[in-house]
Structure 1
Amino acid sequence: MQMSDQKEIAADPATVYAALLSPEVLKACVPGAQEVTGSAEEGFEAKVTQKVGPVKATFTGTVTLSDLVPGEKLTITGEGKGGAAGFAKGGAEVTLAASETGTLLSYDVDAKVGGKLAQLGSRIIDGFAKKMADQFFTNLQNALAPESPEDDAEAAEAEGTQKGWFRKMLGGSGGGDADNG
């Protein structure tokens, strides 16, 4: 399976790059992630539960990062096993470019699946992969969202949302409690 797309993220390239190297951000952004541990230098270990068509499985796997150019690009390579459900492995080349509204993130993915997953057919797998990618980038945008004006922040706080928590964690303008969650 191959997939390419571009997403606009409302944060500067350095912030987006740092987020992609953070296990905490990855855990918050990867749909179904139960745990993500490790570091960009040593690689990450992840546990993700997903339902693809009629097949539901918990995948455990590893993710390594290479070709790291801070604020510009990185290559992600991963492999996960889901027991009887099968396996998934592949990689993605990610590039970041400054844009008028923040960062234009482009990615090219090449992945393979096997076992019961492969029996589902490419239409289901491709649709699932697109949905997962869209959800990941929506979650990433929410994690990096710039702080809103004070009354919007109060409304968000009342709703229990955590927009901009990663920016606060990096030491962006204070205000608010970044530890609630």
Structure 2
Amino acid sequence: MEISGEHRIPAARNQVWEALNDPAVLQASIPGCEALDKESDTTFTARIVSKIGSIKARFNGKVDFSDINAPHSYTISGQGQGGMAGSAKGLARVELEESGPKETVLRYTANAEVAGKLASVGSRVIQGVVRKTADDFFRNFVEQVSGGQASADTAAGSAQPTAVIKRLGWIIAAGVLVAAAAGALMLL
């Protein structure tokens, strides 16, 4: 499963970088995130509750950052376990580019795998959850980074992923951005 996307954030690149590495900002941005703890400079653990189709589960995950080139890019790898619901693991590349003094373009590419009951959910259901989760994450993240000053157009209009093939979304946020990031979305 693969996802890639781009999002314009109304903040300087250093500010966006710091937010992407701040557990409090990420926890407030990731839908269903109950806990996000920084174990080291390169490792986070998370607990996320999510519902995909008829499957609702609490996922415990771990995310590791590598290939760090602050404040330009990094790679996020992670995995999450949801008990009977199944598991997910993934890898995402996140890149930040200054588009102006107070605008940053966040680009991400992520690959993820799901197993267990989650793998049996239809791709259309997963795709819908991914879109909604990515939209929610970026709206929340922009609000966190801009101190609530972002316009509704900026937050909602630019959060659309440029390409979505199947993906489990931010359940893997513990495992793929911070995937969608972003994502991430992992953390993109």
TM-score with structure 1 setting the length: 0.77
Task: Count residues in correspondence.
Answer: 148
Q: Give the match's secondary structure for 2:127.
A: helix
- Aligned letter for 2:21? L
How does 1:9-158 map onto structure 2 within 5 Å?
9-39=9-39, 41-100=41-100, 101-145=102-146
Q: Give the match's secondary structure for 2:118.
A: helix
Q: Give the match's secondary structure for 2:124.
A: helix
Cα offsets for 1:90-119 (capped at 9, x unmatched) = 011000000135100000010111111100
Q: Higher relative contact order by CA 8 Å / sep ≥ 6: 1 or 2?
A: 2
Deviates more, 1:130-139 or 1:91-100: 130-139
Q: Considering only CA atoms, is the larger Rg found in Structure 1 or Structure 2? A: 1
Q: Give the match's secondary structure for 2:18.
A: helix
Question: How many Å separate the matches in 2 of 1:146 and 1:86?
Answer: 36
Question: How many Å separate the matches in 2 of 1:147 and 1:139?
Answer: 9
User: What is the aligned-residue RMSD (CA, Å)?
Assistant: 1.5
Q: Give the match's secondary structure for 1:71.
A: coil
Question: How many Å separate the matches in 1 of 2:40 and 2:6?
Answer: 23
Displacement over 6 Å in runs of 4+: none
Q: Give the match's secondary structure for 2:41.
A: coil
- Sort the Cα spacing of 1:7 and 1:42 in 2 relative to 1 into closer, same or farther, 3 A: closer
1:126 Cα deviation after fit: 2.4
Query: 2:185 maps to what in 1?
Result: none
Q: Give the match's secondary structure for 1:62.
A: strand
Q: Give the match's secondary structure for 2:65.
A: strand
Contact 2:94–2:109 (CA under 8 A) maintained in structure 1: yes
1:127 Cα deviation after fit: 2.4
- Aligned letter for 1:57? A
Contact 2:12–2:104 (CA under 8 A) maintained in structure 1: yes
TM-score with structure 2 setting the length: 0.74
